[in-house]
């Protein structure tokens, strides 16, 4: 009896092993051409049978649910609207009245009359350099000039009365004019020992203390800045040279101050920088609070393009065909919530945020597919559901 049970179990085991389906890897491992080809033919047959079965199921589903396979999309109407485009660049605050005053005479800086932060007026005395005896020379020169003047006036009266020689008259005149020139030269030298404010402004920095020896053209004394005539200087790419000119609207923002204002371009450069292919612009800056300083960084949004009746669409709905042309889906033959999706080739212009201007291919009051365009084919029937 035990022998019969063992034989029965062994038979079942052999049958179960014989019926076990080999995997693709096992078949490939055999490297037997006929075995591999047979397995391929088997799978192709199964694929064909599955395709027939799937088609039957699809046909039946279409009968049971006529709208089941129609893509569900959302749509929107195109419209003409104002489009204002901006180019964003970075600028820096500057002023044409930002001067480091240097010594114009050699000598001891004997007095400094201002300190940092002082408001000064044009022509105000800021500091004094020792004149090295020029004042005494001037006083002596004036005495000599007055004597020469008296001699000249006396000789001139005699000459008018035909008394004396012409050479005496000319010598007196020449001597007087020479003394006047000497006084004038000394006065010019003396004026360089007085440091005068060249314009109204604020003393930003005093670079040297009194008591130091200064050299003409080498020793920096103090910086004076006028914050009333501030402007922003920025470099703009040359591609905008035809769209940005004097009077163009600019939105200015100072990140550090969290302050902004609307201005206009007051000047555009006539020179293209060959190093970076840009041209310079200037934007005047109001500074009533005196909180805007030279070299302060700013961000500029410059209105380089405006179209009163532009068609704007989301960039996300645009596709591109194999020829590299852009297209969107336009809804045609709209009946209730059903329509036909038709490709429309478009050309686009400038972008602003998520939207782009369409230059050709669309007109106002056309319905375009908004959501679901990626699952639609040209000429396909779609179902509109704007509740999505």
Kindly list the domain boundaries of the chain, sorted by start residue. Answer: 22-68, 72-82+308-384, 90-96+226-306, 106-225
pLDDT of residue 27: 83
The topology (CATH level 3) of 72-82+308-384 is 2.40.420
Q: For 211-259, write each residue's pLDDT tens digit.
A: 899 999 899 999 999 888 889 999 999 999 999 999 999 999 999 999 9
pTM of model > 0.85: no
Per-residue pLDDT averaged across 319-341, rounded?
A: 92
SS (H, E, C) 131-146: CCCHHHHHHHHHHHHH
pLDDT of residue 373: 83
CATH 2.40.30.170 fits 90-96+226-306, yes or no: yes
**Residue 367 scores a pLDDT above 70:** yes
**Residue 167 scores a pLDDT above 60:** yes
Parallel, antiparallel or unpaired: strands 72-73 and 80-95: unpaired
CATH 2.40.50.100 fits 106-225, yes or no: yes
Segment holding 64, helix H or strand E: helix 33-64
Q: Which residue has the tokens 């035809």?
A: 242
DSSP string of 316-344, one letter each residue = GG-EE-TTS-EEEEEEEEEETTEEEEEEE
Q: How confident is the model at residue 162 (pLDDT cuts 50, 70, 90)?
A: confident
pLDDT of residue 343: 94
Taking residue 340's Cβ as centre, other Cβ atoms within 10 Å add up to 16
Q: Which residue has the tokens 């076990």?
A: 20
Same topology for domains 72-82+308-384 and 90-96+226-306, yes or no?
no
**Residue 295 scores a pLDDT above 60:** yes
- CB 185 within 8 Å of CB 169: no
Kindly report the length of the chain: 388
Per-residue pLDDT averaged across 23-42, rounded?
A: 85
For helices 134-160 and 166-191, angle between their N-to-C axes, nearest 10 degrees: 160
**Residue 2 scores a pLDDT above 60:** no
């Amino acid at each position: 009896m035990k022998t019969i049970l063992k034989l029965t179990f062994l038979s079942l085991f052999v049958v179960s092993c014989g019926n076990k389906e080999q995997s693709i890897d096992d078949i490939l491992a055999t490297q037997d051409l006929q075995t591999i080809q047979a397995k391929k033919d088997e799978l192709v047959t199964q694929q064909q049978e599955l395709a027939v079965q799937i088609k039957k199921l699809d046909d039946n589903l279409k009968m049971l649910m006529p709208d089941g396979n129609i893509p569900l999309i959302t749509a929107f109407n195109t419209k003409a609207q104002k489009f204002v485009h901006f180019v964003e660049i970075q600028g820096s605050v500057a002023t044409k009245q930002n001067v480091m005053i240097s010594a114009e005479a050699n000598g001891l800086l004997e007095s400094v009359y201002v300190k940092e932060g002082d408001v000064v007026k044009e022509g105000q005395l800021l500091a004094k350099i020792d004149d090295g005896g020029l004042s005494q020379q001037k006083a002596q020169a004036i005495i000599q000039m007055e004597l020469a003047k008296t001699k000249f006036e006396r000789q001139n009266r005699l000459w008018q009365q035909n008394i004396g020689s012409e050479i005496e008259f000319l010598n007196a005149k020449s001597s007087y004019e020479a003394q006047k020139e000497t006084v004038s030269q000394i006065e010019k030298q003396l004026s360089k020992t007085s440091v005068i404010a060249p314009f109204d402004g604020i003393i930003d920095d005093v670079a040297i203390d009194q008591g130091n020896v200064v050299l003409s053209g080498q020793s920096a004394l103090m910086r004076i800045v006028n914050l009333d005539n501030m402007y922003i200087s920025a470099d703009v790419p040359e591609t905008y040279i035809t769209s940005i000119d004097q009077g163009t609207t600019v939105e200015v923002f100072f990140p550090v101050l969290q302050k902004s204002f609307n201005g206009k371009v007051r000047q555009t450069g006539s020179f293209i920088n060959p190093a970076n292919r840009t041209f310079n612009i200037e934007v005047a800056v109001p500074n009533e609070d005196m909180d805007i300083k030279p070299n302060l960084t700013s961000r500029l949004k410059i209105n380089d393009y405006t179209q009163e009746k532009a068609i704007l669409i989301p960039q996300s709905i645009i596709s591109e065909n194999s020829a590299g042309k852009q297209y969107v889906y336009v809804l045609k033959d709209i009946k209730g919530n059903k329509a036909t999706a038709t490709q429309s080739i478009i050309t686009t212009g400038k972008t602003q945020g998520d939207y782009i201007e369409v230059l050709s291919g669309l007109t106002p009051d056309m319905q375009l597919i908004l959501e679901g365009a990626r699952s639609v084919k040209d000429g396909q029937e779609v179902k509109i559901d704007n509740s999505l």
